[in-house]
Amino acid sequence: MPKTAALPQTPKRGRGRPRIERDEQVARRIKAMVGMGASLMMIADLEDRDRHVLARLYEREIATGATEANLAIAQALFAAAKRGDVKAMQFWLRCRAGWCESQPTRVVEYHGQSARSAALGLTAEKDTGWDALLNPPGSGAVQ
Domain boundaries, the chain: 24-83
Distances (CA, A) of 76 to 47, 79, 88: 30, 5, 10
Taking residues 66-76, what's their average pLDDT? 93
pLDDT class of 45 with cuts at 50, 70, 90: very high
Number of neighbours of residue 90 by Cβ within 10 angstroms: 13
Residue 4, pLDDT > 90, answer no
pLDDT at 58: 94
Q: Which of 10-19, 77-86, 117-126, 128-137 has the lowest mean pLDDT?
A: 117-126
CA dist list (Å): 128 to 86, 114, 132: 46, 20, 8
Global pTM reads 0.55
Residue pair 74/81 in contact by the 8 Å Cβ criterion: no
More confident residue, 113 or 56: 56
Rounded to whole angstroms, how far apart are CA atoms 12 and 73? 51
Q: What is the pLDDT of residue 129?
A: 63
